Amino acid sequence: MKLLNRGLLILVLALFTCNISFAQEEKKEDAPIMFSVHTDNVKFAMMPQYEKLAKQLKENCEKHNVQGVDWTAISIEDGRYVFVSQIENMAELDKNIFAELFEKMGKEAAGAMFDKMDECYDSHSNSITHYIPALSYHPEGYSSEGKNHREYHFLYYAPKDGKAMGEAMEGVKKLFEAKGVKNGYSVYHSGFGSEESYFMVSIAGTSDMSIAQGGMENDKLLGDEKDATFFNVIKLTTKYDQVEGTIRPDLSYYPKK
């Protein structure tokens, strides 16, 4: 897991501003937030070794209080381990984020640790994704704290339909607001490194059952009106994927300032 050039991660990315525009005037607080994403496609038989090494990486970063790097770790049901880190701009990708760790831990020890991690997978990837506050729905009182289970819905679309897809997603948010739905969701958009354009809807819960229960509660509140609103999204969708994952605080790293 050589996460050089700020290649850290989902649920699952040309740049967002080039791919899509929205009907409303964008407010400053609604500006997209950029994240770098690193994914390791870990072999199932190597998962125990990989997790042990990922914890060693975190522990060494904590031991040496390594600055200039942080990540949220996510394990996906299909064996992927995803490491996500917020960045301000693409220039940050040129930084060697583990230079300080190699210096304090020692080149040989740090190099050996990463080499052992590389033995656990045959492929990995780096990309950019954008969190879209303008399309995300977080009602008053909603929080994802303590909800580490995730359900990720990927809605792929043709580039020519970017504007229409953004408007359709906005329509879903407006319906949720109008009906006073209590369960929130976060929306992300593909960026640099993604072969296809898509929106990803992330739903948080304490378990898959809690998310399913929330979905049933939403259906009751939204009523029949939801059918036409959701169809505006469905008719523009060229492919759909759903995966489940877990936020891993035990593998995530946030340095002390």
DSSP of 142-153, one letter per residue?
A: ---TT--EEEEE
pLDDT digits (tens, 9 = 90+) for 137-170: 999 999 999 999 999 999 999 999 999 999 999 9
* CATH topology for the 24-128 domain: Alpha-Beta Plaits (3.30.70)
Q: How far apart are CA 242 and CA 211, in angstroms?
A: 13
Q: 210 exposed, middle or buried (CB, 10 Å; 0-12, 13-18, 19+)?
A: middle
Q: What is the pTM of this model?
A: 0.88
User: Do residues 243 and 152 make contact, with C-beta atoms less than 8 angstroms apart?
Assistant: yes
pLDDT recorded at residue 27: 62
- 84 by DSSP, 3-state: which? strand
Domains of the chain, by residue range, sit at 24-128, 130-245
Any residues with CB less than 8 A from the CB of 80 and at least 6 apart, and which? 39, 40, 41, 42
pLDDT recorded at residue 150: 98
pLDDT digits (tens, 9 = 90+) for 52-73: 999 999 999 999 999 999 999 9
- For residue 37, what pLDDT band results from cuts at 50, 70 and 90? very high
Distances (CA, A) of 30 to 90, 168, 187, 203: 19, 17, 12, 19
- 218 by DSSP, 3-state: which? helix
DSSP 196: S
pLDDT digits (tens, 9 = 90+) for 181-191: 999 999 999 99
Residue 19 has pLDDT above 70, yes or no: no
Q: Is the backbone of residue 106 left (phi > 0), alpha (psi -120 to 50) or beta?
A: left
Q: How far apart are CA 71 and CA 83, in angstroms?
A: 6
pLDDT digits (tens, 9 = 90+) for 79-132: 999 999 999 988 888 889 999 999 999 999 999 999 999 999 999 999 999 999
Q: What's the maximum distance between 2 C-alpha atoms anywhere in the chain?
A: 62
- Greater confidence (90 vs 34) lies with 34
Name which CATH class applies to 130-245.
alpha beta
- Residues above pLDDT 70, as percent of the chain: 89
Tell me phi and psi for residue 145, to 5 degrees.
-60, 130
Q: Please report, to the nearest 10 degrees, the dihedral formed by the alpha carbons of residues 49, 52, 56, 57 taken in order.
A: 70
pLDDT recorded at residue 26: 54
- For residue 14, what pLDDT band results from cuts at 50, 70 and 90? very low
Cα R_g (the chain), whole angstroms? 19
User: Do residues 175 and 225 make contact, with C-beta atoms less than 8 angstroms apart?
Assistant: yes
pLDDT recorded at residue 204: 98
pLDDT digits (tens, 9 = 90+) for 197-233: 999 999 999 999 999 999 999 999 999 999 999 999 9
pLDDT recorded at residue 7: 35
Q: What is the mean pLDDT of the chain?
A: 90
User: Do residues 44 and 237 make contact, with C-beta atoms less than 8 angstroms apart?
Assistant: no
Neighbours of 37 (CB within 10 A): 26
Place of tokens 């009907």: 23
pLDDT recorded at residue 29: 73
pLDDT digits (tens, 9 = 90+) for 199-209: 999 999 999 99
- Helix boundaries (H) for the chain: 16-19, 47-63, 99-105, 107-118, 162-179, 208-222, 225-234
Domains 24-128 and 130-245 share a fold: yes
pLDDT recorded at residue 90: 85
